[in-house]
Amino acid sequence: MACIASPIILELLLFWNNDSFSKGLKAIEKSTSLLVFPLFIIGNYQRVNFLKLAETYIIATTLILLFFFIRFNVLFPELMDKYLNGVHLWEMGYEFSNTIGIHAPALNMHLAFVSVCAFYFVFAGFKNQEKTTLKIARIIIFLLSFFFVLFVNTRMALINVFIGFLIVLFLEIKTKIKPKTIILTAISLFILLGGILFFFVKKDVYMKEKYSSVSFAYMDKIGKLDEIDHPESKVFNSLVTRVSIWKSAWELSLNNLPFGVGASDGKPELNKYYKETNQKFLAKYEFPTHNQFLDFLLKFGILGPLVVVLYIFTIGYLGYDLKNALILSFFIIFLTSNFMDDFLLRFDGIAFSGFWFSVFGSFWLQEKLLVVNKD
C-alpha cells in the first residue's frame, strides 16, 4: 500500500517546494486515488477476484470502444472517407481518441493491456475446455481489441502488444495446456494477426513510413528544432522532438537539485526554459517532459526518479514472483509508456495504474497466504 501511495507521499513530503499553495493542492488532488484504491481494494483483498475483474474489464472496454467506433463512423463519415482513401492517415487515431475525450497514447496504453488480456483468455478457454461458442466469443473480443490498437495506431502500444503476446505464450507453454494445442492456437491467431496487420499496412501507407523514416528523421537536430523548415509538419511526433524535450528537462533538473522545482511548477518552469534557450518550436506548443522519470526528477529532484522506479518496478516484482503473464505485461506496458510519456502526471494514468496495482497486490496476497495456509 505504501508503494502504491509513494507518489502522493512524495508530493506531501515536498509540498513546501511549490510556489503556489492552490496549485500544489490541485497536484495532490489528482493523486488521491493512490490512497483510496489501495485502502479499499487491498484492505478487502480476500474479496478481489483478479481474473474475473480482468475478464469483465476487457469485454466492457472492447464493447464500449466498438460503440464509439460505430458512433465515429456515423458522426464523422468524412474522416473515415479520408482514412479509407489514404488522406491524412496520421491524424485518424488522434481524431478518434479526441471524440472519446482521451489522448491517443493514453487510450492505446489501456487498449494494449486489454488486447494482451484478451489474448490470455483465448488460451484460458482452451485450457479450461470451454464450449466452442465461448471460445469463438473470446477470439472475436481479442480480434476487436487488436483492431482498435491498430486503428488508434501509436507506436509504443503496438510494440507492447506483441511483447505481451510473447510473454503470454511463453508462460502458457509451462501450464497444463497440451503443447500441440498451444502451437496450433498460436499459429492460427498469429496468422489472423498477420492478416489484419498486412491489411492495415497495405491500406494505411503512412503506417510503414511512420514506423521508419518519420520516427527517426532529423536526429542531427536535437535541441535545434527551429533549424528545420516547418517542424510542425515534419517532426511534431518524431523521436528528435522527444529527445530535445528530454535534453531541456535534464538540463533544467540539474539546475534545481536536490529538491526540484515543485510538483505544480514542472511544466511552467520547463516552458520558461524553452524560451530562455530560444527554442521557439518547443515553447510554442509547451511540450511536457514526455518521460515520467525526468518529470519527477524535474519536480522532486533526486527522490523523484527513485519513487517512479519503486512504483513501477514493484508491479514487475509482483508479476515475476507470481509468474503471471498479465501482471508482467502490464509492467512492460506501463514502464515503456512512461519512457515516452508521463502518465503519473495525468489523472487517467494515475487512476489506471493505481487501480490495477491494487488489484495485483490483492492477488499476490491471496496467493501468498494460500501457500502459507497449505504449509
Using one digit for the tens of pLDDT, what is the confidence trace for 48-84? 999 999 999 999 999 999 999 999 888 888 877 776 6
Give per-residue burial for 95-124: e unless 16+ CB within 10 Å, then b.
Answer: bbbeebebbbbbbbbbbbbbbbbbbbbbbb
**Listed range (85-99, 119-133, 319-333) with the worst mean pLDDT:** 85-99
Residue-wise pLDDT for 183-233, tens only, equals 666 676 667 666 666 665 555 555 555 555 566 677 778 878 888 888 776
What's the CA gap between 163 and 190, in Å, rounded? 13
pTM: 0.88
pLDDT at 180: 64
185 and 123 Cβ atoms separated by less than 8 Å: yes
pLDDT at 8: 93
What's the CA gap between 218 and 249, in Å, rounded? 20
Instruction: Give the distance from CA 95 to its chain's centroid.
Output: 18
DSSP annotation string for 8-73: HHHHHHTGGG-S-HHHHHHHHHHTTHHHHHHHHHGGGGGG--HHHHHHHHHHHHHHHHHHHHHHHH
**Listed range (39-53, 114-128, 307-321) with the worst mean pLDDT:** 114-128
Of 182, 185, 162, 163, nearest in space to 173 by CA? 182
What's the CA gap between 278 and 226, in Å, rounded? 9
Q: Residue 270 — very low, low, confident or very high, per pLDDT cuts 50/70/90?
A: very high
DSSP annotation string for 242-294: HHHHHHHHHHHHHTTTTT-S-TTTHHHHHHHHHHHTT-HHHHHHT---S-HHH
pLDDT at 228: 83
pLDDT at 5: 95
pLDDT at 351: 93
* CA angle, residues 293, 9, 322, in degrees to nearest 5: 70
pLDDT at 170: 81
pLDDT at 190: 67
Percentage of the chain exceeding pLDDT 90: 46
290 and 278 Cβ atoms separated by less than 8 Å: no
**What sign for the dihedral angle of Cα 214, 217, 221, 226?**
negative
Report the pLDDT averaged over residues 272-296.
Answer: 91
What's the CA gap between 263 and 162, in Å, rounded? 35
